Structure 1
Amino acid sequence: MVKNGEFFVIKEMKQRGMSITAISKELGRDRKTIRSWLREESPETYQRTLEKPEKLAPFKAYVRKRMEVGCLNAVVILDEIRAAGYTGGITRLRDFMRPLRPLVASKATVRFETPPGRQAQVDWGEFQVDWNGKKKRLYAFVMVLGYSRMMYVEFKEDQRLETLIGCHERAIRYFGGITETCLYDNMKTVVSGTDEQGEVVWNHRFGQFASHHGFLLRRCRPYRARTKGKVENGVGYVRKNF
């Protein structure tokens, strides 16, 4: 495609009586190209291809905030931003999160206080370790008591329902009891989905487990994650001292 300035230079050369061959040699252009341009009345307009807006762009600030309070699990964040309208994939999200991971630092958040015995908060943290010369993924189960900030941590190789229940049982023994409620993110082993009214549908088996031990299940709604900051600060503490 000829540039505007070059188009008018060609026209001027021709007006000065230069031949197509001379113009071609002067500009280093093919003679057929020069001849074609001379037949045009004006240079061809450049049509800029407009880039499609990046799907993740509206959610980047939220992702940064979630990472700053210790949530580095891309699967969890993906569920949250999809609930808010994100239509992209997890690869794009992970690519965005990757360079931020070493830069993330804990920031102060509004304290959400609960009375003694009222609430515990539960989350998973994801870690990479060297295991016999290879990288191995481990998951840290973290339960934090809302009032005292007392914390229980256990590393596991998976996040299956059976594993989650076992971690709860050992945490209950460690604390010597359980709070009235436990607050969770959108763990797939805890939250099965939502019904037509938007209410939480709990995993049936985990619900039975909670009922047996006498505590109520609560979900931290997407975009209101600061109410779950204690456990995410706990995950951040574990990560810092891992």
Structure 2
Amino acid sequence: MYQYQHVIHRMRLGDSDRQIQKAGLMGRTKASAVREKARENGWLDPLSSMPDEAVLEDTFGSKPQAPTPSKIEPYKDQVAQWFDEGIQGTTIYDALVRDHGFAGSYSCVRRFLKTLKATQIKTSIKLTFKPGDSAQVDFGKGPNITDSHTSKPQKTWIFVMTLAWSRHMYAEIVPNQTVETWLGCHRRAFEFFNGVPASLRIDNLKSAITRACFYEPEVQRAYENLALGYGFKIDPCPVADPKKKGRVESGVKYVKNAFVPLRKFRSIAEGNRQLTQWVMEVAGNRIHGTTHEKPLVRFEQTERFVLHPLPQIPPELAVWNQCKLHGDCHICVDKCYYSAPYIYANQTLWVKSLEKTVYIFNGHELVATHPRLFTPGKKSTNNDHYPPEAQAYLMRDPQWCLAQAEKIGPYCREVVDELFADRVLEKLRAAQGLISLKKKYGAKSLELACRRAVAYLSPKYQTVKSILKQGLEHEPIERQAQLPLDEVYTGQGKYTRPPTDMFQ
């Protein structure tokens, strides 16, 4: 309406339609129609008062047309209820077609949902922090770095910790987001700042939060111990609400857009050297868009003096895991195996992994200690953790059997040698069983039974056991059992000859 007032004012001053068009106010055709309306209402008289916007609206305003009723009109209340419940548009459309015979298109549903979204007013509060009060932590996708050993591109991540007041940041390129990496990045960040903020606002990643919850999230035990050691509080964001840590979100985006592109990294270590230099020279000395100051200057002049001091003895970076002790008396941690006492089989134990040592706990009781293994598939076993029968089996190896047989006598040793000489079967259990007969029958009887078994060419465990069971070890050995093979046969066959005749 202001435009119409201006055009009518120019007409009252004597401007023609062509002049109004050249001024860029209105085309000649439309200006002619406006002049006609103004003449009818007497507005071109310089002595008359200018019409107000309401009069011009009634004269030149477009007449509203009756809208065409939408096909979704009968279902508006139901759709609005579904929308409030968070159901997506395609699901609403399918339900309308399936259950209500809706004849409209999905675009009809989408347009109505758009009007519902427009009525929702979303507001937020701008968070403010005092110096040293808080820092925000997050991971972002890093560059692909070619591994020098495999010549394959390796995915990386960028860890960023941003101080909420000064906006000074610590950044590091890492190969993964494991608990060990998460804890190590925190330690190096605190050493970089030479202090610890009062609280850390984080995401709900598994390395820090084992169960995300709006009211009472559960913290990873290793991260909880780190917080106690350094004296900071953990402040997880609500689930799916990254705006609560927007300063580090912006910091991650800044690193990804300003540092990563157009750079070459030969290794993660070389990339971190470049990144630290960039943080101190470029990122720290830029004029921040919100504070309008240099983050490094704000940090050096104010915030570094109010950070909590580092502990004199850094807390150990221990990773805690709950693992089940399997029936073979071993647990699996990072694809490596560690033994624990058999009495805890099929129970869940706590495993504390340090840089060089692994501790296994049942509740608060330490039950096993092992050196830390790093090669997948490696095993650290303490034989004392096995049940007695398993320990006995492991201790009674072939050398033990031969030594025990030697003590019993030469015939017992000969039987054991024959058992181990079998080219098909592994007869360790048979040898162990033979030696165990000493407990029941005595060494002397066992030696006599072995002598009889050797004499009858049957050096077997069952033969010796049968001799002892029947009490035959003291019986005299028949002469034929001691003679050479060519003198044993008595020659009862019609066509048989002595073996000596056959091999002459």
**Structure 2 length normalisation: TM-score?**
0.26
User: Which residue, 172, 179, 188 being the options, matches 2:206?
Assistant: 188
Shift in Å, 1:194: 4.4
Moved more, 168-177 or 134-143: 134-143
Shift in Å, 1:225: 2.1
Residue matched to 2:247: 230
Tell me, yes or no, if the aligned pair for 2:142 and 2:173 is still in contact at 8 Å: no
Count residues with an aligned counterpart: 137
User: Which residue, 112, 119, 144 being the options, matches 2:162?
Assistant: 144
Shift in Å, 1:222: 2.4
Residue matched to 2:139: 124
User: Which residue, 187, 196, 220 being the options, matches 1:203?
Assistant: 220
Shift in Å, 1:223: 4.3
Shift in Å, 1:130: 4.6
| 1:226 partner amino acid | K
What does 1:80-159 correspond to in 2, within 5 Å?
111-131=126-146, 134-159=152-177
Q: Mark the runs of 5 or more structure 1 residues left unpaired by the alignment.
A: 1-56, 60-108
SS at match of 2:207: coil
Distance (whole Å) between structure 2 residues aligned to residue 194 and residue 156 of structure 1: 24
Distance (whole Å) between structure 2 residues aligned to residue 198 and residue 58 of structure 1: 26
- Greater share of residues in strand: 1
RMSD: 2.5
**Structure 1 length normalisation: TM-score?**
0.52
Structure 1 segments, 4+ long, off by >4 Å, are none
Distance (whole Å) between structure 2 residues aligned to residue 181 and residue 238 of structure 1: 23
Residue matched to 2:458: none
- Tell me the alpha carbon deviations over residues 121-173 of structure 1, each in whole angstroms, 9 at most, x when there is no partner: 00011124251664321011100000000000000111111111111111101
Tell me, yes or no, if the aligned pair for 1:128 and 1:135 is still in contact at 8 Å: no
Distance (whole Å) between structure 2 residues aligned to residue 167 and residue 234 of structure 1: 16
Shift in Å, 1:58: 4.7
| 1:238 partner amino acid | V
**How many percent identity over aligned positions?**
32
User: Which residue, 147, 156, 170 being the options, matches 2:188?
Assistant: 170
Higher relative contact order (CA 8 A, sep 6+): 1
Larger Rg: 2
Tell me, yes or no, if the aligned pair for 1:165 and 1:206 is still in contact at 8 Å: yes
Residue matched to 2:373: none
Distance (whole Å) between structure 1 residues aligned to residue 208 and residue 252 of structure 2: 19
Tell me, yes or no, if the aligned pair for 1:110 and 1:226 is still in contact at 8 Å: no
